[in-house]
Structures are given as structure tokens and as C-alpha cells.
Amino acid sequence: MLQKVVICGVDTAGLPKLSAKENEELMRRLKAGDECARDKFIVGNMRLVLSLVKRFWAKNANADDVFQAGCVGLIKAIDNFNLDFNVKFSTYAVPMILGEIKRYLRDGNSLRVSRSIRDTAYKILKVREGLEERDEEATIERIAAEMQVAEREVVYALDAISDPVSLYDPVYNKTGDTLTLVDQLYDESQSDEIWTERVALREAINRLTERERRILMLRYYEGKTQTEISAEVGISQAQVSRLEKTALKQIKANIS
């Protein structure tokens, strides 16, 4: 899909730029039934569609068709937007515009999911809904048992109807600030609690003698046996064992 200035007969280089105040005023007027304001609002927000269409330049799809699909999403967003949402229109509209573009690209994809797999997937969704209505955990295992099918069939069917998403796709947020999927990810290994424990462990290790630290490094970092360590350090295996136990007790005492 080549970058174009004129898409669907629209000179994208000459699209108007509306201020936030102008957008808000036009939205109020079009919601009151002003068709002229509606047309001006649509044209004034086509730059938003264009900015999202550019994400799909590498899809080898027709630029006019993709832009048109994005405009459909824009119009749907306008029709469904409520001034009481307390959210910027662009924040609300972006997911709908992207949804229409992705739907167009998916429907035009040569890779089709068979009817039987889709039927299975819809049955799975219905079973899952039923389990949730009964306040039961809708796990893959539970759904498979309910349908009397293999778990792999449940996973395969759900994957077949799922659309891949980008971690940087925007999600709806009532505060008005745009959030992406990556903002919702949480790495438990980097939590404050884990970080504090690591600091405490490092301080406890630093309190050990140089020999004790070396034995723990050889034992738990390099994975050597006590016999191998005794040969390398030049002490008996019994001494290695005693020093290891003493060091571990000291660490435990210092971080507890």
C-alpha cells in the first residue's frame, strides 16, 4: 500500500485541523441535529483516520479501501459517542476506527477459518458465558469437560477466531488519557516487594566472608558439587559443607 496524498478523492494534505474547542462545539451541534456541523466534524477528524491508516502501509492493501474502512469506524464512533462519557472523542474513536480497519483486512484475508471451527468456537463462548453466569471459573479444563471435548480443541478453536493485537493498540479509558495494552502489563518479577527482597539479599551476602561468598557462588551460580569446590578452594568437603550451611543461616537471619 503506497503512501498517497489523494485517498478516496480526498486531498489528505489539505485536511483541516480542528482545535479541541472547535471539536467540542461541533460535537454538541451535531448531537443537536446540525447536519452541517456533522459534515464539518467528519472532515475535521479525517486526519485521525489517516494517522491510523498509516500503521497499515505494509499490509499491501488498497489505501483507498483501508481509508474508507477507517472513515466508517469514525462515523460509527460519532454516532455512538455520548457527551456524558467524560472522555476525549479521539480516545473513544481510535479503537472503533482500528476495529473497522482490522475487520476489513481480516475479511479480505485469503486465510479462512472453517465453518466447523467457528461453530465450535461459538459453542465454547456460550458454555463459558453459562459458567460465568453460575459464578464458576471458566477455565479451559472446565469448558472442555462441559463440552466433552479435548482441551486442545478448545484452545485451537478460540485461537482461530482471535485477532492478533499490538501491545501498542489504544484501549478505552474513562479518564481521557490514552492507554495502550502494554500499559496494562505487570511484571511480578519487578514488583516493589521483589525489588526490596533483592536489595536485602544483596546486603546479607555482602556481610559474609570472602570465602563464604566464593563457596556460595561456586555452589549455586556455577552449580558445582561440594567435592569439586573443596578441590578448587583447597579445603575438605566437610569444611565446605559447614561453611555453606553457616552462610545460608546468616543470610536467612539477616533478611528475615
pLDDT tens digits for range 136-193: 888 888 899 989 988 888 888 877 766 555 555 665 555 555 566 555 555 555 555 6
Q: Give the whole-angstrom CA distance, residue 72 versus residue 159.
A: 27
pLDDT at 102 over 70: yes
Name the nearest CA neighbour of 218 among 233, 204, 208, 229: 229
Task: Evaluate whether 236 touches 230 at the Cβ level (below 8 Å).
Answer: yes
Task: Evaluate whether 23 touches 45 at the Cβ level (below 8 Å).
Answer: yes
How would you classify the pairing of strands 179-180 and 10-11?
Answer: unpaired
Overall pTM > 0.75:
no
Name the nearest CA neighbour of 41 among 32, 29, 55, 54: 29
Predicted confidence band of residue 2 (pLDDT cuts 50, 70, 90) = very low
Side-chain half-sphere CA neighbours of 141 within 13 A: 1
User: Grid coordinates representing 60?
Assistant: 499491501
Q: Give the whole-angstrom CA distance, residue 239 versus residue 247.
A: 12
Predicted confidence band of residue 112 (pLDDT cuts 50, 70, 90) = low
DSSP-derived secondary structure for 198-254: HHHHHHHHHTS-HHHHHHHIIIIIS---HHHHHHHHTS-HHHHHHHHHHHHHHHHHH
Q: Give the whole-angstrom CA distance, residue 174 versus residue 178.
A: 9
206 versus 195: which is more confidently predicted?
A: 206
Query: What confidence score (pLDDT) does residue 119 get?
Result: 77
Instruction: Look up residue 162 and give its DSSP letter.
Output: P
Strand partners, 7: 10
Name the nearest CA neighbour of 172 among 94, 103, 86: 94
Predicted confidence band of residue 134 (pLDDT cuts 50, 70, 90) = confident
